[in-house]
Structure 1
Amino acid sequence: MTSTKVDSNDNRPSKSEAKNATASASQDKAVFQCERLDFVDLVPENRARVQSMKGFDDCYTDIVDYIVRCTHKIWDERDVGLIYTHYTHNCVLYGTMGTMYNREDVVRDTIQRLVSFPERRGMATHVIWNGNDNDGFYTSHLVTGSGRHSQSGHFGPATGRTFHSRTIADCMIYENKIYREWVVADQMAIFKQLGLDAHAFAEKIARNKIAQGLTNLDIGENRLMIGQYPPAETADLGIANNALEERTLQWLHDVWNRKMFGTIKDVYAPTVMYHGPLMKELYGVAAVMHQVIGLIGSLPDAVFQPQHISSVDCVEGGTKVAVRWVLEGHHLGYGGLESLGDPTGKRLQVMGISHFHYKNDRIVDEWCVYDELSVLMQLKMAQLQDTEAHMEPTAD
């Protein structure tokens, strides 16, 4: 989490630098964690600021307080207008269904979601973060949402049914404003619980995107292998900040890219709990292995690409690690993405975020979020373009 500069004379940190590093580490330990705190304790009114927060509103006492409190204000207290003071005008929000490139689109999208789910509540499960107020912060915020589909909106006519789902939002933040965000919401979990037709909705979104001139083209090799060589034996560790993060990137590479699924038994505790898409709650190494093989089964030539990694020591013991990743390949087999049906050969991309809890050198909990509805929409786009191409008149 912290680093110190090295004195060129004796390769040791100077006294002032060591003191600053110690103070920073002490601040990090005082930063809130969500696991054991009730909400009223998580957003107190008179807590002193425990972390340097240059440029942030006075009500925020540390970076976890910031992301939990402002999310609650915007979504649960319905103060949507806070987006104007908490996002830059040119913010970029990467979602599983598309990308927004300005603050006003974020405002409109938030309102539309509140129209459909006015009773929704998002509960902070945990926040994994790194950074500081000079360089900027990065947060990975796992939210467990619940609500009722009580109004007609972007999901169609109201069903009156209740739902539970998980979302992880990764944010890059500087001086009180989010300037880049990745949101992975398990929308397929909501669709299944509401009894909605995922195929019809995915095709509707696909048609709208094609009408806007967007395409989902197959651009060829995804660099899992170069020519006829096997996948690389070692992972690119350039984004890691410490030894545990390096180890995490390496075993992820071994499992997802090298297909060494047996590695899972060496990494996960026998009693591991897996909290997966579609609100799955599974137990044990065999269950984790089945989920991994299932997803790879649908995209057997996919390359797993970690985009960001961060970690924090956990008040429950051990360390929590967050990894944002992209899995990109072709629909060449049967597997966990059951809604896709028979293999189509179409190129598809899965954007996901995983949180791992290590204790005693093993993973005891994993939270994995990706959206199968997004993948289904990509498949519909590819199939619609095939249909339109076949319908084009030929030249005489």
Structure 2
Amino acid sequence: MSQQQTAANTNASQADEAQQDGKVLQVERRDFTELVPNDRPRVQSMRGFDPVYTDIVDYIVRCTHRIWDERDVGLIYTHYTHNCVLYGVLGTMYDRESIVRETIQRIVELPDRRGMATSIVWRGDDVNGFYTSHMTHGTGRHTEYGIFGKPTGRTFVTRTIVDCMIVENKIYREWVARDNMAQLVQLGIDPHEYAATIAQRKFDAGEAVVEISENRRLLGQYPPETEPDLSLAHTELEAEVMRWLHHIFNKRMFGKIGEIYASNCQWHGPLMRELYGPAAVMQQTMRLVAMIPDCAYVPQHICSVESEEGGTKVAIRWVMDGHHLGYGSLGAPTGHKLVVMGFTHLHIRDGKIVDEWTLYDELSMLVQLKLGALHRAAA
């Protein structure tokens, strides 16, 4: 075995040991000052990372705070690659400078917003790279002109989940979902008017609507596949979660929810909905599928960590695509193509889901419908 391979195996082993020993930080039970300590020794191999970071959770919490709360936006130049791709629910950015510009604009418009980490699920090491799924609650007040127009002075609470791929202190790929619809509603802004403005801008820029007649749920006249593709799973629990999700979303066996959710489970969803019990979970799950009844649910990534609260936290990034063929919060069916990028964090104890945080942005779905209508009118 080469020296490079030996070093790689040693670093990976150190990372595994740190996680197993519970040395890597978890955010749920800690106040902020405990998450960004000044005198904590490094507990995880972090080759290429700035000395201030003691483990991967410290990195995510601390650099986010430094950039967004301490206003050191220029740290983006040392924490993102020049060609970082950021996939957002309303569009994609393909370079670091765009991320700098968008960050400055959001800080100026919402100067007292604070994003508080509520969960970080991660996987990886400093040799092969880290993958993190970072969930926050954002609170603030709309006090300045910006993308939301004239200041309303209203307060808001929203949820954001950001997935990052990181090597040697730099994020090179990122997926971001903000609950923009929840923020609009709380600020008293008409979602349809706001979505129409964004759609017109996209239409004028020549953004096309990609139509796909068949998705991965059904192949021709065959029924849904009995078993999902489990190649993304790293553990048996992750594989089991993927089976659950396939059973529910692609096979439409919603009764499974009653089997796998605890009787006292909580569901935290879009528009900051807070619901309780398997019946509520079932209704909200069916609510999304009912709007896109031909949808396919495709997991893009899954990872998990043992939780200090007991059990395991699992994070799934997923895509759902189909057509707006059903009634729901977006209005009467339009038939337009819909693609939903979503994130789900699950807390599983004793084989049951006790907490679910699911995030997708209904505003991005509404923008797609408005853009589809513009293209249909122009055809």
Band the TM-score falls in, shorter-chain normalisation: over 0.9
Pick aligned residue for 2:186 from 170, 175, 193: 193
In the other structure, the counterpart of 1:235 is 228
Q: RMSD in angstroms over aligned alpha carbons? A: 1.6
Aligned to 1:314: 307
- The structure with the larger Rg is 1
Alignment correspondent of 1:77: 70
Amino acid at match of 1:381: L
TM-superposed deviation, 1:213? 1.3
Which amino acid letter does the alignment assign opposite residue 387 of structure 1?
Answer: A
Alignment of structure 1 residues 127-276 onto 2, 5 Å: 127-276=120-269
Aligned to 2:29: 36
Distance 1:254 1:315 in 2: 29
The DSSP-based 3-state class of the residue aligned with 2:265 is strand
| Count of aligned residue pairs for this structure pair | 373
- 2:349 corresponds, among 344, 359, 369, to 359
Q: Deviations over 1:57-105 (max 9, x none)?
A: 0000000000010001111111111101100000000000000000000
**1:223 offset after TM fit, Å?**
2.4
CA distance in 2 between partners of 1:69 and 1:175 (Å) = 15
Structure 2 residues not aligned, in runs of 5+ = 2-6
AA partner of residue 286 (structure 1)? A
- Paired with 1:160 and 1:21, the residues of 2 have a C-alpha distance of 49
Alignment counterpart, residue 49 of structure 1, candidates 42, 46, 58: 42
Aligned partner (choices 355, 371, 378) of residue 368 of structure 2: 378
In the aligned structure 2, how far is the partner of 1:32 from the partner of 1:63? 8
Partners of 1:233 and 1:367 lie apart in 2 by 26
Q: Letter of the aligned partner of 2:240 in structure 1?
A: R
The one-letter code matched in structure 1 to 2:338 is L
Give 1:17 deviation, angstroms.
Answer: 11
One-letter code of the match for 1:373? L
| Structure-2 residue corresponding to 1:9 | none
- State the SS of the aligned residue for 2:33: helix
Relative to 1, partners in 2 of residues 1:30 and 1:264: Cα closer, same or farther, differing over 3 Å?
A: same
Q: Give, in whole Å, the separation in 1 of the partners of 2:103 and 2:174.
A: 14
Match of 2:290 in 1: 297
- Partner residue in 1 for 2:335: 345
Distance 1:24 1:133 in 2: 8
Q: Among the aligned pairs, what percent are the same residue?
A: 58
Shift in Å, 1:19: 8.4
Q: How far apart are 1:362 and its partner, in Å?
A: 0.4
Provide Cα deviations, 1:17-65, integer angstroms capped at 9, x if missing partner. 9987764432112100001110001100111000000000000000000
Tell me the amino acid that sits aligned with residue 304 of structure 1: Y
Aligned partner of 1:61 among 51, 54, 63: 54
Q: Helix, strand or coil for the counterpart of 2:150?
A: coil
**Distance change in 2, residues 1:202/1:293 (3 Å):** same
- Paired amino acid for 1:217: V
Secondary structure of 2:282's counterpart equals helix
CA distance 1:218–1:23, change in 2 (3 Å): closer
How far apart in 1 are the matches of 2:11 and 2:88? 38
**Bigger shift: residues 73-82 or 137-146:** 73-82
- Relative to 1, partners in 2 of residues 1:183 and 1:254: Cα closer, same or farther, differing over 3 Å? same
Q: Counterparts in 2 of 1:87-126, with a 5 A limit?
A: 87-126=80-119
Per-residue deviation, 1:200: 1.1
| Deviation (angstroms), 1:224 | 1.3
Q: CA deviation at 1:210?
A: 1.3
Q: In structure 1, what residue type is equivalent to 2:331?
A: G
In structure 1, how many angstroms separate the alpha carbons of the residues matched to 2:202 and 2:299? 27
For the residue of structure 1 that corresponds to 2:214, the secondary structure is: coil
Supply the distance in 2 between the matched residues of 1:22 and 1:215 (Cα, whole angstroms): 47
For 2:262 and 2:252, the matched residues in 1 are separated by 20
- Cα distance, 1:219 vs structure 2: 2.1
Query: Match for residue 10 of structure 1?
Result: none
Partner of 1:30, secondary structure, is: coil
Partners of 2:11 and 2:127 within 8 A in 1? no
Secondary structure of 2:309's partner?
coil
Task: Summarize deviations over 1:190-210 as a string: whole Å, max 9, x none.
Answer: 000001011111111111111
Contact 2:15 2:125 in 1 (8 A): no
Partner of 1:394: none
Q: Given the alignment of the two structures, is residue 27 of structure 1 paired with residue 2 of structure 2, yes or no?
A: no
Q: Which runs of 5+ in 1 are unaligned?
A: 6-15, 390-396
Answer with 268-277 or 210-219: which moved more. 210-219
Native 8 Å contact 1:217 1:382 kept in 2: no
Equivalent AA in structure 2 for residue 297 of structure 1: A
The letter for the 2-side match of 1:361 is G
SS of alignment partner, residue 158 of structure 2: strand
